Amino acid sequence: MKPEALAALQARFAEQLSTAPAILQAHGRDESHPTVHPPHAVLFARSETDVVDALGLASAHGFPVTPFAVGSSLEGQVIPVQGGLSLDVSSMNAVLALEPGGFQATVQPGVTYPELNRRSRPHGLFFPVDPGAEASLGGMASTNASGTGAVRYGTTRDNVLELRVALMDGSVIRVGSKARKTSAGYDLKHLFIGAEGTLGVITELTVKLWPLPGHVAVLRGHFPGVEAAATCAVQVMGAALSPERLELMDAELMRAVNRHEGAAYPEAPTLWIELASSSAVGLGEALGLCSEIMADSGGGGLEVARSAADRAALWEARHHAYYALGALYPGHDRLSTDICVPLQHLPGIIGFSRALAGQEGLHASFVGHVGDGNFHVLFHAPPDDGATWARIHGVYDRMIGEALALGGTCSGEHGIGLHKRAHLAREHGDTLALMRAIKALLDPSGLLNPGKILP
Amino acid sequence: MKPEALAALQARFAEQLSTAPAILQAHGRDESHPTVHPPHAVLFARSETDVVDALGLASAHGFPVTPFAVGSSLEGQVIPVQGGLSLDVSSMNAVLALEPGGFQATVQPGVTYPELNRRSRPHGLFFPVDPGAEASLGGMASTNASGTGAVRYGTTRDNVLELRVALMDGSVIRVGSKARKTSAGYDLKHLFIGAEGTLGVITELTVKLWPLPGHVAVLRGHFPGVEAAATCAVQVMGAALSPERLELMDAELMRAVNRHEGAAYPEAPTLWIELASSSAVGLGEALGLCSEIMADSGGGGLEVARSAADRAALWEARHHAYYALGALYPGHDRLSTDICVPLQHLPGIIGFSRALAGQEGLHASFVGHVGDGNFHVLFHAPPDDGATWARIHGVYDRMIGEALALGGTCSGEHGIGLHKRAHLAREHGDTLALMRAIKALLDPSGLLNPGKILP
């Protein structure tokens, strides 16, 4: 960034602008180690006007702008690889409106989803998208994040009604509608959702809220193999049970949790199925049907939890999986794949991936949002073990090739960011030219989060 | 169309091309009377190659192309107002793949949703979007159509996984993914959904299928006023009952059905609520809760139907409403509004609209997908009664103004087409420039369905 650009930023933003080394460092990375590229400056934006003015200065002085909120992206999305300004919107964290009768809330982009849930619950409502990591709604919209609730409630994309977006030309546009349905003109909203801040900066979101389910229970059981568990998940989906969550962990991860927590979970592939109903009796019947399906698929050790405390206890191993794995291998870098395939291909590609990792002698743990066909393989190795990392990337590459051959995608919920651009080219090579043309329309100088998404 | 263009079409397509007056006439209108503009020729495309070649000839000779399937659009979408070629895809009606384990089907654009349902039901699955009129899936995607199932299953937009689209540059692209979730790059799929054939021609769709609900029942009751019925609908939505359908008809429409069918329905605002559950007992409890809500909101004459035959009988008045109104006023032209507002504003805007129509002395019947906040006012008058039509348009205009002020949209499910372009400018004036730029990217010569959407 040129000195006059920095001076102009300082003149406009005073103490909202920081060049303190620790701040720059904290804005130079995300959860995808080991890449670190600090920006030249960090702006703590407090309002839409701040965002507009920052983009105006970027245009005038030609420096890059990379939006940032919580820094929990997994593919390098918030890393300012070309330096410039990190536009931190975490202080834009007001819930601007909460309309219980309209089942919607309007928020600034720095509001986190747990905070929105704290605000919604007193109204009997909640926001069901739960990617973890106290993610911000602006970031979640920008990567189309999801999590365990997507099987029932959809992804962030499905839960955003309207956006306000600041563009590089100095304007702020409103896309979508606060109505639940609209067929009014070209849908520009979905262009900005998942665009990772490369087309504009989201300054406000109106999102759907959902009624809290009346009666909830969780079933957990273990299976003789990951494929059997995945097959059971497919059958649950076919039974019109509309599970609230449907999660898989493999034996490797269960073992990691046992070792890390001194627990004694069966070290076998494990499936969690959360069901809800407006009536206790209805829930009981659904649990009965679901238990039968699980038993017929070879599931054993079935446990049911109904109270909030019991449910939390039953989910505990699932919630601690990432952390347990990290703690077991201190100093290792990790990589999480993010493949999603049509549901009928899920057991097959999980088998394929396990065999491949086995052949290559890799530690590979499987965790999956298996009702969606989305699963993550967690690889890990010491950062300097180049040979292992080359094998990991080789396996990942072949897994993506297989997923694409089956009609799937290289990213179910993490996005493309910095790290998966080559995979995007494999998946959507025929539309890259159109993506580039749209990028050029909205950001002709290429200043918005450069280096992301487009290869 | 120049003679050499027609000759080139004839040389390539032989008997697939028609210039018979009756065929031209049938492709010159839709359900939005009284506009009629016949094309110069109609091509009955049989394959994606036919579509690509037709677009190639259009580019070479500079004639407009307007996609057509069933002709059931409501805003003039399929009317070739600048002549040229009507590209009829109704013969591209193959179900290319049906994957029960993946809950999806891949179809050509001419497949109708009733046909897809006939093919899906033996697998225990169905396609839940039901706009009526034996609509084609290509057309439904192009207008983002919906209907009574949207309250539970979303609109066409929410149910399309992947598209193949033929572009004016001669290419065919694949957008979206057959996976249920994807965060891979810019979402171009949603740009073509709802674009009314102005950006490209859809040649193939992969859509979601859903498990048929296990146990279904319908409740019907009548209310002292339309606003009370709408308020009840909002409360049902808040009770986490996830209704399958939630429909409203006003006294005027009930009266029309009675007169037309010699029936004796209570001539009062009437609400239908369809509920489903995986268990009979669960369904019973949900019905109990729903009945209480209806009674508390002033609903009377509650009837419940459980068997398929009884449900069909209970729904009958709703299904016959449009037809009954048409039959009661033979020779009248009709206009259906399509406003959708955030749910908390639904009772208010229905009251506002009723009062306005009353002040102007207009016949106005209300029917609504009230769980979505979407309602239609059916106006009618003799085609040559210019004074009444001016009052109708004046009222419609003020209704849209009110809807926009409340954060709603001028079109919940019918699209913009020819007739609502000025309203689109009111609703999305700040993004028209971007819409036009995207149109110019994909159709630089303006040959794809010219005169639609963009004012």
pLDDT, tens digit, for every residue of B204-218?
Answer: 999 999 999 989 999
Tokens of B208: 């979601």
Do A314 and A414 have their domain in common? no
Tokens of A226: 């990951």
Beta-carbon separation of A186 and B453 below 8 A: yes
- Residue that is last in its domain, among A168, A192, A211: A211
Touching check for B279 and chain A: CB below 8 Å?
A: yes
Distance of CA A196 to the CA centre of its chain: 12
Beta-carbon separation of B184 and A424 below 8 A: yes
Do B270 and B353 have their domain in common? yes
Do B140 and B94 have their domain in common? yes
Q: Give A210's strand partners.
A: A126
- String of b and e for A383-395 (b: at least 16 CB within 10 Å)? eeeeebbebbeeb
Residue A8's pLDDT band (cuts 50, 70, 90): very high
Touching check for A427 and chain B: CB below 8 Å?
A: yes
pLDDT value at position B281? 86
What range does the domain containing A39 cover? Answer: 3-90
Query: Domain of B162: which CATH number?
Result: 3.30.465.10
B124 contacts on A by Cβ (under 8 Å): 238
- In a domain, residue B99? The reply is yes
B199 contacts on A by Cβ (under 8 Å): 186
The closest of A20, A33, A13, A115 to A75, measured between CA atoms, is A33
pLDDT value at position B178? 98
179-238 of B, contacting A, C-beta below 8 A: 179-191, 193-195, 199, 210-214, 234, 237-238
For B179, the closest of A185, A191, A373 (CB atoms) is A373
- In a domain, residue A428? The reply is no
**What is the pLDDT averaged over residues B83-107?**
97
B104 contacts on A by Cβ (under 8 Å): 342
Beta-carbon separation of A438 and B438 below 8 A: yes
Beta-carbon separation of B195 and A186 below 8 A: yes
Q: What is the mean pLDDT of chain A?
A: 96
Beta-carbon separation of A409 and B182 below 8 A: yes
**How do residues B47-74 score in pLDDT, each as one tens digit?**
999 999 999 999 999 999 999 999 999 9
pLDDT value at position B95? 98
A184 contacts on B by Cβ (under 8 Å): 409-411, 415-416, 420, 423-424, 427-428
Touching check for B416 and chain A: CB below 8 Å?
A: yes
pLDDT value at position A48? 98
- In a domain, residue A430? The reply is no
Touching check for B410 and chain A: CB below 8 Å?
A: yes
Query: Domain of A368: which CATH number?
Result: 3.30.70.2740
Report chain A's terminal Cα–Cα distance, integer Å.
24
Touching check for B74 and chain A: CB below 8 Å?
A: no
**What is the pLDDT averaged over residues B434-446?**
98
Residue A279's pLDDT band (cuts 50, 70, 90): confident
- Residue that is last in its domain, among A173, A190, A211: A211
Smallest Cα distance from B335 to chain A, Å: 17
Do A115 and A192 have their domain in common? yes
For A179, the closest of B408, B435, B438 (CB atoms) is B408
* Residue in this structure with the two tokens 């309203």, named with its chain if needed: B423
Do B161 and B195 have their domain in common? yes
Tokens of B330: 């033979």
The closest of B210, B192, B193, B96 to B149, measured between CA atoms, is B210
pLDDT at B398 over 80: yes
Residue B279's pLDDT band (cuts 50, 70, 90): confident
B143 contacts on A by Cβ (under 8 Å): 183
Smallest Cα distance from A241 to chain B, Å: 6
What number of other Cβ atoms are within 10 A of residue A214's Cβ?
A: 19
**Amino acid identity, residue A399?**
M
- String of b and e for B86-104 (b: at least 16 CB within 10 Å)? bbbbbebbeeeebbbbbbb
Contact A299, A232 (CB under 8 A): yes
For A184, the closest of B234, B276, B427 (CB atoms) is B427
Smallest Cα distance from A150 to chain B, Å: 9
Q: What are phi and psi of B407, to 5 degrees?
A: 85, 15
Smallest Cα distance from B182 to chain A, Å: 4
Do B8 and B73 have their domain in common? yes
Q: Alpha-carbon distance A313 to A291, whole Å?
A: 19
Do B262 and B328 have their domain in common? yes
Higher-pLDDT residue of A395, B261? A395
Touching check for B399 and chain A: CB below 8 Å?
A: no
Touching check for A104 and chain B: CB below 8 Å?
A: yes
**Amino acid identity, residue A18?**
S
B423 contacts on A by Cβ (under 8 Å): 184
Burial label, B259 (beta-carbon count in 10 A; 0-12, 13-18, 19+): middle
pLDDT value at position A34? 74
- In a domain, residue A192? The reply is yes
The closest of B412, B183, B131 to A154, measured between CA atoms, is B183
Least confident span in A164-178, A427-441, B182-196, B235-249: B235-249
Smallest Cα distance from A315 to chain B, Å: 23
Residue B323's pLDDT band (cuts 50, 70, 90): confident
Touching check for B171 and chain A: CB below 8 Å?
A: yes
Touching check for B302 and chain A: CB below 8 Å?
A: no
Do B131 and B222 have their domain in common? no
**What is the pLDDT averaged over residues A436-454?**
98
Smallest Cα distance from A43 to chain B, Å: 26
- In a domain, residue A221? The reply is yes
Among B182, B215, B419, B454, pick the best mutation site for testing chain A contact (most A Cβ within 10 A): B182
A453 contacts on B by Cβ (under 8 Å): 185-186
When divided into structural domains, chain A yields a total of 4
**Amino acid identity, residue A367?**
V
Least confident span in A8-22, A403-417, B304-318: B304-318
For A289, the closest of B185, B278, B338 (CB atoms) is B278
Residue B40 DSSP symbol: S
Touching check for B104 and chain A: CB below 8 Å?
A: yes
- In a domain, residue A441? The reply is no
pLDDT value at position A338? 97
Touching check for A285 and chain B: CB below 8 Å?
A: yes
Do A83 and A156 have their domain in common? no
pLDDT value at position B302? 96
**What is the pLDDT averaged over residues B376-401?**
97
Chains A–B, number of C-beta pairs less than 8 Å apart: 317
pLDDT value at position B405? 98
Give percent helix, percent strand, percent coil of chain B, each to the nearest 5: 40, 20, 35
- In a domain, residue A46? The reply is yes
Residue A133's pLDDT band (cuts 50, 70, 90): confident
pLDDT at A433 over 90: yes
Touching check for A425 and chain B: CB below 8 Å?
A: no
Tokens of A151: 């099987």
Q: Which residues are within 8 A (CB) of B119 and not within 5 positions of it... i.e. 6 or more apart?
A: B95, B98, B105
- In a domain, residue A99? The reply is yes
Touching check for B292 and chain A: CB below 8 Å?
A: no
**How do residues A199-247 score in pLDDT, each as one tens digit?**
999 999 999 999 998 899 999 999 999 989 999 998 999 888 889 999 9
**What is the pLDDT averaged over residues A387-405?**
97
Report chain B's terminal Cα–Cα distance, integer Å.
24
Beta-carbon separation of B181 and A374 below 8 A: yes
Beta-carbon separation of B214 and A240 below 8 A: yes
Beta-carbon separation of B102 and A175 below 8 A: no
- Residue that is last in its domain, among A282, A308, A323: A323
Give the pairing of strands A41-44 and A201-208: unpaired
Do A52 and A142 have their domain in common? no
For A453, the closest of B104, B174, B185 (CB atoms) is B185
Do B207 and B225 have their domain in common? no
A234 contacts on B by Cβ (under 8 Å): 101
For B183, the closest of A144, A206, A242 (CB atoms) is A144
**What is the pLDDT averaged over residues A83-99?**
98
Beta-carbon separation of A184 and B143 below 8 A: no
Among B99, B151, B181, pick the best mutation site for testing chain A contact (most A Cβ within 10 A): B181
pLDDT value at position B133? 86
For B413, the closest of A183, A187, A373 (CB atoms) is A183
pLDDT value at position B239? 86
Tokens of B59: 């580019």
**Percentage of chain A exceeding pLDDT 70:** 100
Query: Domain of B292: which CATH number?
Result: 3.40.462.10
Do B268 and B283 have their domain in common? yes
pLDDT at B34 over 80: no
Tokens of A389: 């990392």
Smallest Cα distance from A181 to chain B, Å: 5
* Helices B226-238 + B346-359 axis angle, to 10: 170
Beta-carbon separation of B199 and A186 below 8 A: yes
